[in-house]
A and B are shown apart, each in its own frame.
Chain A
Amino acid sequence: MNARLLALLPAAIAINLVIGGLVNALGLPLYLDSIGTILAAVLAGPAVGMLVGAIGQLLFGLINGYQWIPFGLIQLVIAALAGLAAAHGGFRSSSVTLAWGLLTGLVAGALSSVISYVLFKGVTATGTTAVVTLLRQLGWSLPVAVTASSLLLDLVDKAAAFLLVGALVRALPLRMMGRFPRAARAVGR
């Protein structure tokens, strides 16, 4: 691992862990806890994105409790899809980025619902669980309520995260782009 990657990884992990707090201040039902993972995958490839997601999840567990560690699997999937999107110029325009974000949200939501239901019996982060409780009160079965709430929140969350990273990568100065050649391919240059 070269020195630039060694410098990129802690920054990307810290972004994953800190940016959620910024969005919380806006009172929006978003996590945006995968921006660092997506950014690393776009700049340096899916393997680096996976490393960011895995270490980020380990450190998040250290600070907030290891009960959420199974959700680290979703970070790996996000990194793989972000890397795939970057390799195919998936960040060249907002509409293409949105499509990749929605696809990632769909996959992440499906995986998240399985983990939430099987390992956590439907009780996870407060926002998602509040939606599950509401749907249960409306008469939905627990598996359907968990799947619906996970898909809904992940679609919005991952689409927003992809759009943000796309806008950032397109705005990168050429000097920075030169240091990360994969980013140039991601935005179709």
Chain B
Amino acid sequence: MTLAPGALAARAHPFTPLVVTAAIAVAAIALPGAMATVALYAATVILVLATGAGRAALRALVPLAPLWLFLFLLHGVLGDGSRVTVAGLSLSRDGLTLAVTQGARLGAIATASLALYAAFSPARFVDAVAERGWPFSAAYLVVATLLALPRFRARAVVILEAQRSRGLRLRGSVINRIRAIGPVTFPLLLGALAEVDERGFALETRCAAGTVRRTALAPPADRMADRMVRWAAALSAGAAVVWRVFG
């Protein structure tokens, strides 16, 4: 979690941002036309700002910028159909509409998911899952992977540096670079498999694979407001699907 502890998204029940993000993704795919999708993107950005995860809207621009550029090039510039001239540039009218619709869809989904990541607290999520009586292994898989990622990334950097220092060429001809794939990936893969053994024993001693219901020490509060937000989000997504199908 990278939010201030007082932020609304950080205080919400862990399932609330999950359901809201899923609802935004469903609505983004279901809503037809440029106007509706642009409105959804705007609403998502406002929601993210209001809940204290505003930086996610900015961070989402990093993956979105190249996508928007290629949408503009592929559909706006190279698209078929009637043409319109904008600032001396001949653009496809239908292609532009398609690019804006798709760009807004991707914008809404990316912004909501990065806000969810910013608000996600592994410890609170495990407690919330335990409180519901859901299998511990499901929560463990999500949380253990999220915690393993920085460790694996750090190990990958160490491997790259070690291989460079022993003279492995990571640049140059394509053949050289293909030859380097093994030396940079094998240590990471073998290290991961060696770790599986140790962790397997550690998990066994903690009965991690057991099916007995666990008791959460400090389960996050599931307030009426949280439940209402989740229902409203699910109903809105359902309404968007109905609008798409019957509208």
Contact = CB atoms under 8 A, between A and B. Distances in A.
Interface of A: 1-4, 6-15, 17-19, 21-23, 25-28, 32, 35, 39, 55-56, 58-59, 61-67, 69, 119-123, 126, 129-130, 132-133, 136-137, 142, 160, 164, 167-168, 172, 176, 179
Contacts of B16: none
Q: In which size bucket is the chain B interface?
A: 35 or more
B149 A14 contact: yes
A165 B125 CA distance: 33
Contacts of B109: 65-67
Main secondary structure of the interface of A (DSSP, over half): helix
B184 A8 contact: no
Contact of B199 (A7, A64, A119, A168): A7
Given A14-B145, A120-B102, A6 B203 contact: yes
A98 to B, nearest CB: 14
B196 to A, nearest CB: 5
Interface stretch (B5-13, B72-80, B217-225, B234-242): B72-80
Given A22-B156, A22-B184, A142-B74, A62 B113 contact: yes
B160 interface: yes
Interface stretch (B45-53, B114-122, B126-134): B114-122
Interface stretch (B33-41, B81-89, B186-194): B186-194
Interface of B: 21, 25, 29, 60, 63, 66-67, 70-71, 73-75, 78, 98, 102, 105-106, 109-110, 112-114, 116-117, 120, 137, 140-142, 144-146, 148-149, 151-153, 156, 159-160, 170-171, 174, 177-178, 180-182, 184-186, 188-190, 192-193, 195-204, 208-209
Nearest to A56: B145
12 contacts: A6-B137, A11-B196, A23-B184, A25-B170, A58-B142, A64-B63, A67-B106, A67-B110, A121-B74, A123-B102, A136-B74, A137-B78
Contacts of A3: 200-201, 203-204, 208-209
Nearest to B103: A123
Given A15-B189, A21-B153, 7 more contacts: A26-B177, A27-B171, A28-B181, A55-B141, A65-B110, A121-B75, A129-B67
Nearest to B153: A18
A39 B190 CA distance: 11
A122 B74 contact: yes
